[in-house]
Amino acid sequence: MYVCLCKGVTDNQIKDAINQGACSMRDLRADLDVATQCGKCARDCKSLLLENMTGNQVAAMASAQYVAA
């Protein structure tokens, strides 16, 4: 299913990027250029990100937020 119509990005492409190490919206923007035009896909991209992250990615994200605080 297409998630980002502006850039023609599918949910499978987003899942693949997550499996290859993307663990933030910043990573998805850099890898796939999603949520850079109209922004309507941002919520769906973030949902896919949270649903498909591995335990290691969750731990890395939590650690990065802890350091930033």
What pLDDT score does 66 carry?
A: 64
Q: With 0.85 as the threshold, say if the pTM is over it.
A: no
What pLDDT score does 65 carry?
A: 66
What pLDDT score does 63 carry?
A: 73
Domains and their CATH numbers in the chain: 2-68 (1.10.10.1100)
Structure tokens at 35: 């949520």
- Residue showing tokens 């990100």: 49
Alpha carbon distance, N-terminus to C-terminus of the chain: 36
Structure tokens at 8: 């023609």
pLDDT block averages, 10 residues each, the chain of length 69: 97 95 94 96 95 77 67
What pLDDT score does 18 carry?
A: 93
Please name the amino acid found at residue 61: M
